[in-house]
Amino acid sequence: MAGDLSPNQVLKALAQSNGPILTAEAFPSMSFVKVKSALDTLKSRDMIIYSQIEREEVVLSPEGEGIAENGSHEAKVFEAVRASIDGLKLDDLPDIVGPVSAGVGKNTAMKARWIKMDGGRLKASTDTITDITREQLQAIQKTKSNPDARLVSGLKKRKLVTTQRVISFKVDKGTNFATELVKEETDLTADMIQSGAWKTAKLKPYNFKAMGAPNTSGALHPLNKVRHEFRQIFFEMGFEEMPTNRYVETGFWNFDALFIPQQHPARDIQDTFYISDPPSAGRPRADPSPQSSHSTNSPPEEAQQQKRLDYEAYWRNVVEVHQKGKYDSIGYRYPFNESESLRLVLRTHTTAVSTYMLHKLALDARPARYFSIDRVFRNESVDATHLAEFHQIEGVTADYGLTLGGLMGFMEVFFGKMGIHRLRFKPAYNPYTEPSLEIFGYHEGLGKWVEIGNSGMFRPEMLEPMGLPKDMRVYGWGLSLERPTMIKYAVQNIRELLGHKVDLGFVESNAAVRLEKD
């Protein structure tokens, strides 16, 4: 029987039978796989139950088939001898019954005393014989079995039969048995909703255990691969990853909290993307939910209740430090504009997130190391090395007694892990760090010094409004993910790395390195 076994065929066979059916009998020539597939479909709907049965089948060999049809060798010899009028000459036998039957058949027929040698000729000793072998084989042909194990093993030795293990199924009606399988819908479609067909449609349950189709295609983007390397370095050095899953920040978190004055050119429309709808956020509020402490020996519950992020107080501190100075700083001394602080921007650096994390750290001030690698946005004119968005790698370390020398030493270890062993530092300016350093690394491959990052010790004007202890120092640094990736993969134009101009072939040819779960 060619084709598949339809579930309906199984239902029909069951409906017609009084009890369970055996698939080997009901569908003898159907393959195991096809039978099982039809049964599983029905079983998943509880229309049937089934169990697997293994049994041994005895099947005739081609020689055995020949005997079942035409008789055994010995019977053929007997017939030939009996048919001769005056006996057969031994030499004539092969011509009449064939050489094989003549050889095997003559001896067996003589042992059975069906024929004898008489005066140099073969003569019949009886008129009728029973061809037992043929009968046995014919019986086996019908049932594919014989309870007499010795007989079967004898026939096997004579190469007239072989045995094989056959898996079959015993199938019985299930609780949802019906004579027909109703097609189950795999999708709820717009048509079904419009026509009302969904009311009566039978929906196929989801199979949450499905493994899905194996997927051997696809490749990691070079940026992802380099990101993975950086993450490993950070984790190795005991850094925690910061939650960077929000691109939109207020001017407060992106600039003000970092002691970036509101007139700073970075806040220009030429440099920063402002959100137009909605253009601004509401005033900061006190956090309604108490913060759980990070430390393992968390404080008693009442103490924890009091530990809330107080955004209002923080905001007031920031306004004050800008406007008239605080914490031994004279501030910028300009009228702070609240609405500027509430304007929504696409974050221009992930330092906005670091700031948020440091403010949170102040609840339970202790040494901490944070990092992030995520997207930032700058309203820049796009060229071969600049895009309006890129990925920033950022690290922040908070501890008591940190020094600038410590920052430089740390940079050497950090970049050393990336294979950059010669560093140079150049004084720089950031409104939120003092001192600030630009970091240059000697690139062996390119044979020149390249700028790889920006860093510095965060100013007290930024840290103290958060409530961090006066003697706690925090340093940080940032670099782009694109720069090292472009150098590593020898990409000249950043637009070939990010955006619609990326050549899939390029990504693929760099796909050789497969990363473990990121």
> Closest distance between ligand PHE and the C-beta of residue 513, in Å?
29
Where in 432-461 is the site for ligand PHE (CB under 6 A)? 433, 454-456
Give how many residues touch ligand PHE by CB under 6 A: 11
Is the CB of 460 or the CB of 478 nearer to ligand PHE?
Answer: 478
* Phi, psi angle pair for 8, to nearest 5°: -65, -35
Is the CB of 76 or the CB of 227 nearer to ligand PHE?
Answer: 227
Is the CB of 64 or the CB of 453 nearer to ligand PHE?
Answer: 453
Q: Is 349 in the site for ligand PHE (CB under 6 A)?
A: yes
CB-nearest residue to ligand PHE:
478
Place of tokens 């970049």: 415
Where in 369-428 is the site for ligand PHE (CB under 6 A)? 394
Is the CB of 4 or the CB of 389 nearer to ligand PHE?
Answer: 389
Is the CB of 244 or the CB of 433 nearer to ligand PHE?
Answer: 433
The helix or strand, by DSSP H or E, that contains position 117, with its residue range, turns out to be strand 115-118
CA distances from 180 to 5, 6, 152, 203, 512 (A): 14, 11, 42, 16, 52
> Closest distance between ligand PHE and the C-beta of residue 464, in Å?
17
CA gap 350, 395 in Å, rounded? 10
Q: Is 476 in the site for ligand PHE (CB under 6 A)?
A: yes
Q: Provide the H-helix boundaries in 301-403.
A: 301-306, 311-323, 338-342, 351-361
Q: Is 272 in the site for ligand PHE (CB under 6 A)?
A: no
Q: Is 256 in the site for ligand PHE (CB under 6 A)?
A: no
Is the CB of 27 or the CB of 475 nearer to ligand PHE?
Answer: 475
CA gap 47, 179 in Å, rounded? 9
- Which residue pairs, CB below 8 angstroms and at least 24 apart, start in 466-469? 466/257, 466/314, 466/317, 466/358, 466/359, 466/361, 466/362, 467/313, 467/314, 467/359, 467/362, 467/363, 467/365, 468/358, 468/361, 468/362, 468/365, 468/398, 469/365, 469/400
Q: Which residues pair with 268 in a beta bridge?
A: none
Q: Is 136 in the site for ligand PHE (CB under 6 A)?
A: no
Q: Is 430 in the site for ligand PHE (CB under 6 A)?
A: yes
489 in helix, strand or coil?
coil
For the beta sheet containing 115-118, the strands, ordered from the edge strand earlier in sequence to the opposite edge, are 88-89, 121-124, 115-118
Q: Which residues pair with 425 in a beta bridge?
A: 439
> Closest distance between ligand PHE and the C-beta of residue 201, in Å?
56
CA gap 481, 393 in Å, rounded? 6
Stretch that binds ligand PHE, among 28-36, 179-187, 267-275, 475-483 (CB under 6 A): 475-483
Is the CB of 78 or the CB of 458 nearer to ligand PHE?
Answer: 458
Stretch that binds ligand PHE, among 44-52, 163-171, 409-417, 472-480 (CB under 6 A): 472-480
Separation of CA 400 from chain center: 43
Place of tokens 């790889």: 452
> Closest distance between ligand PHE and the C-beta of residue 219, in Å?
30
Separation of CA 216 from chain center: 11
Is the CB of 161 or the CB of 373 nearer to ligand PHE?
Answer: 373
- Parallel, antiparallel, or unpaired for β 240-241 and 368-377? parallel
Where in 280-299 is the site for ligand PHE (CB under 6 A)? none
Q: Is 244 in the site for ligand PHE (CB under 6 A)?
A: no
Is the CB of 102 or the CB of 407 nearer to ligand PHE?
Answer: 407
Sites of contact with ligand PHE (CB under 6 A): 349, 351, 394, 430, 433, 454-456, 476-478
